[in-house]
Chain A
Amino acid sequence: MTPLDVLLWGVAPYVMVAVLVGGTIWRYRYDKFGWTTRSSELYESRLLRIGSPLFHFGLLVVIIGHVIGLIIPKSWTDVVGLSQEAYHVQALLLGGVAGISTLVGIGILIYRRRTTGPVFRATTGNDKLMYVVLVAAIVAGLTTTLLGAAGGEEHNYRLTVSPWFRSLFILQPDITAMSRAGLAFQLHALIGMALFTLWPFTRLVHAFTAPLGYLFRPYVVYRSRSAGAATRPARRGWEKIG
């Protein structure tokens, strides 16, 4: 357990969480107006209608895969009689398909962003940085999935990455476990942490306000004027001085 291991697997995760939570709260309080998907569908929809669902639905499956792989301990799947090989086959199939569609999806989206004039002009530096980190995270993740198929102790993330991930929540990070993981896993984890650190400051925040409430509210929304802008606290730039 070198000092670098402690820094990367013992300190960095907590810094990431602090920035993610704090940054999100800060952004929500001070930049509600900027909290949007910043959709460019108005400019171009042909490629978007292929790329965007491919990317987003792929990503949703990838998230489910991460939850299963990281949270459910190996001992539990052993108990239900799922062998290591069978587990890996399903992980490879599900993860591979989802990962590839995510990657192809974002590939289409980036191609569209670069080649469609108005969309490219509406792309900020913030977006570009976010795209680099996001694509790196997906590529690294897909690599680990494919390596996982090769088998071997160091590629079995359920003995290295997962225990470390779960140990983070009880504030006793299992640094040794993570330091034994393969390089690809370590890279993927680091890029992932970088992505979550950037998250609150990019347009990715739209994911935190996925409109699930729509399923449960009445169609037509009424609001009283008194609950509107007039009684809201003063906005940024309108603070009282002195």
Chain B
Amino acid sequence: MRVMAQMGMVMNLDKCIGCHTCSVTCKQTWTNRSGVEYAWFNNVETRPGQGYPRRYEDQERWKGGWVRNRRGRLTLKAGGRVRKLLSIFANPVLPNIRDYYEPWTYDYEMLTDAPLGDDFPVAQPKSLLTGEPMAVEWSANWDDDLGGAPEHGPQDPIVERLRAESETAVKFTYEQAFMFFLPRICEHCLNPSCVASCPSGAMYKRAEDGIVLVDQDQCRGWRMCVTGCPYKKVYFNHRTGKAEKCTFCYPRIEVGLPTVCAETCVGRLRYIGLFLYDADRVTAAASVEDEHDLYEAQLDLLLDPADPAVIAQARRDGIAEDWLDAARRSPVYKLAKEYRVALPLHPEFRTMPMVWYIPPLSPVVDRLTETGHDGESAGNLFGAIDALRIPIGYLAELFTAGDTAPVRRVLQKLAAMRSYMRDVSLDRPRDESIATAVGMTGGELVEMYRLLGIAKYEERYVIPTAYEGDAHELEEIGCSLDVEGGPGMTGSGPFGEGSGTPVPVSVETFQALRERQTSEHVTDTGQPGARVNLLNWDGKGRPAGLFPPRASR
């Protein structure tokens, strides 16, 4: 057993309203640059729908992830090392920019420069690739909220598979349609096929927290990672010629802050915490024969952070005490392993993804109430799960490689929680049989309710900071505030404002950001002449340094 720590996320799909706030804040933070206009480290897909890029789940076409070969060993679906090198001059299965969308801007200048006339001037869309006028035909969420579903919906690879395998026809007529939202980031897999696909060895998994990153200095733009990732969450920056991907906001995670997508989620549906897993068994778990066993195999990898044997081994493997403590309080471990209500996305890709989803249940209660039943009675709820408007088969294709049993168990647990909590809220005697029917205790249901329903900030995000011991390294150039232009690093060098060494990002942004986000009042750096970074200004009051000092009167 070799214990490693992994940052993980759980998303509660019942709460996602598809507002795209996570996508927008993520984009503003990471990809608001030329070359990655089309890159959405976080995107929200409407399901059923084609996803982004279009039909990325169809691995017969895109060849992402791993497959188990006849000898029972894992190989990359797009081919092994030799085949990769032989096809390095032209990757045979790289998505085209049009499989994402052609990025564009508008000719805004026309709005102000157009000569006076009878017609209103129009800002024409212009391609950011060619500069030519273009017709906007697709984007990252073109089929949002089932827009154009009768036309686009049947091309959802899961809808196709359901139709072929079980003749479950997913309906797209207005009265019979269903939808839910699926926010996606990089899965930071335990067995990442993008890392395995990188010929240069520029992609790596961080040993401390399992975050998968691209070394921008080592990436040579061979593009194999884009093919390798079955979730298509590695993007090729077409200006710099380098791969870029979701970073799990590691600079924030290192100081104990949640990712930007999680922090700004208005539904508070994201949970971040640690998993401890057995690194020695990852390959074996990813190679189990039956795809339906992959979910269980993945759960088996997750170690109980309260088990003394695990703790002892974790200490031997160099995991710090505060991390072990955080692992014991981890909300993601509770949701995935203890309550077993969170499921991995597409385990059949055999990458052991570490972003988990609680499948949506919501519409069932209203549905039952409409038909004159008591929508929150446990018996009615259990019976109705198979008649859900969102077909259980569809959820199973997403989360358990098509095995409906685990999905049904999760939905039953969520239904039991509602039913049980109604008695608690109405001060009625608690019906423990509801809890035992789903293999839990009443106490566990209440705890789960607290985590899912109340969802306090400190309980949703249990993030240990980077080790105290090397905390100084987090500050760039390994320096502290007392060098380089003196205390405060005011950012003014010998040749006036803006000259000299720029203020290291870690000093200015992250410490300040953390302080400002956790304190109740205006944060004053207390240093004369210190400037406020407007991007971090929280709008509270007028901190010193917001305006430059007045000229002496």
| Chains A and B are bound partners | yes
Query: Once the chains bind, are A45 and B130 in contact (CB under 8 Å)?
Result: no
Query: Does B336 reach chain A (CB closer than 8 Å)?
Result: no
A80 to B501, CA, bound (A): 66
Nearest chain A residue, comparing its CB with the CB of B88:
A211
Is B208 in contact with A225, judged by CB distance below 8 angstroms? yes
Question: A220 touching B473 by the CB < 8 A rule?
Answer: no
Instruction: Determine whether the beta carbon of B207 is less than 8 Å from that of A37.
Output: no
Over the window 143-155 of chain A, the binary record of Cβ atoms lying under 8 Å from chain B Cβ atoms (1 yes, 0 no) is: 0000000000000
**Contact A36 B207, beta carbon cutoff 8 Å:** no
A213–B201 touching, CB < 8 Å: yes
With A37-B222, A225-B466, A238-B501 known as contacts, the answer to whether A209 contacts B473 (CB < 8 A) is no
Chain A binding surface, main DSSP class: loop
User: Please, how many angstroms separate the alpha-carbon atoms of A52 and B200 in the complex?
Assistant: 20
Interface readout for B235-263 with A: 1 if CB under 8 Å, 0 if not? 01011111000000000000000000000
CB pair A214–B207 under 8 Å, yes or no, is no
Q: Provided the pairs A49-B90, A220-B196, A224-B208 are in contact, do residues A215 and B201 lie with their beta carbons within 8 angstroms? A: no
Q: Which residue of A lies closest to B199 (CB)?
A: A211
Give, as a whole number of angstroms, the nearest-CB distance from B91 to chain A.
Answer: 6
Instruction: Kindly state whether residue B109 has any CB partner on chain A within 8 Å.
Output: no
The contact size tier of chain B is 35 or more
Q: Which of A10-18, A114-122, A187-195 contacts B (4 or more CB under 8 A)?
A: A114-122
**Cβ-based interface call for B72 (8 A):** no
**In this complex, what residue of A is CB-closest to B192?**
A220
Return A221 CB to nearest CB of chain B, in Å: 4
When distances are taken between beta carbons in the complex, the residues of chain A under 8 Å from B217 are: 32-33, 35
Interface residue? B43 (CB, 8 A): no
The segment from A85-93, A132-140, A171-179, A226-234 that touches chain B is A226-234
Interface majority SS on B: helix, strand, loop or mixed? Answer: loop
Contacts of B220 in A (CB 8 A): 35-37, 206, 209, 211
Q: Is the CB of B130 within 8 A of A118?
A: yes
> Which of B207, B209, B223, B501 touches A41 (beta carbons < 8 Å)?
B223
| CB within 8 Å of B: which A17-31 residues | none
A131 contacts the other chain (CB 8 A):
no
B441 within 8 Å of A (CB atoms): no
A56: chain B residues at CB < 8 Å are 89
Partner of B221, one of A37, A117, A224, A230: A37
Q: Does B219 contact A (CB under 8 A)?
A: yes
CA–CA, A36 and B91, complex, Å: 15
- Closest A residue, CB atoms, query B466: A225
A117 x B132 contact (CB < 8 A): yes
For the complex, give the distance between the alpha carbons of A37 and B219 in Å.
10
Contact with B along A176-220 (1 / 0, CB 8 A): 000000000000000000000000000000100101111101011
Looking at the assembled complex, report how far the CB atom of B476 sits from the nearest CB atom of chain A, in whole angstroms.
7
B238 pairs with A122, CB closer than 8 A: yes
- Which chain B residues lie closer than 8 Å to A225 at the CB level? 206-209, 466, 470
- Asked if B478 lies at the interface with its beta carbon under 8 angstroms from chain A, I say yes
- Expressed in whole angstroms, the Cα–Cα distance for A47 and B198 within the complex equals 24
Interface residues of B (CB under 8 A from A): 81-82, 84-85, 88-92, 94-97, 127, 129-132, 191-192, 195-196, 198-201, 203-209, 213, 215-223, 236, 238-242, 466, 470, 473-474, 476-478, 484, 493, 500-502
Show the binding face of A for B, using Cβ within 8 Å.
32-33, 35-45, 48-49, 52-53, 55-57, 117-118, 121-122, 206, 209, 211-215, 217, 219-226, 228, 230-231, 234, 237-241
A-B contact pairs, 23 of them (CB 8 A): A36-B221, A36-B240, A37-B221, A38-B241, A39-B222, A42-B95, A42-B236, A43-B96, A52-B90, A53-B90, A57-B89, A211-B201, A212-B85, A214-B85, A214-B199, A219-B195, A220-B191, A220-B196, A222-B205, A222-B207, A224-B208, A238-B502, A241-B493
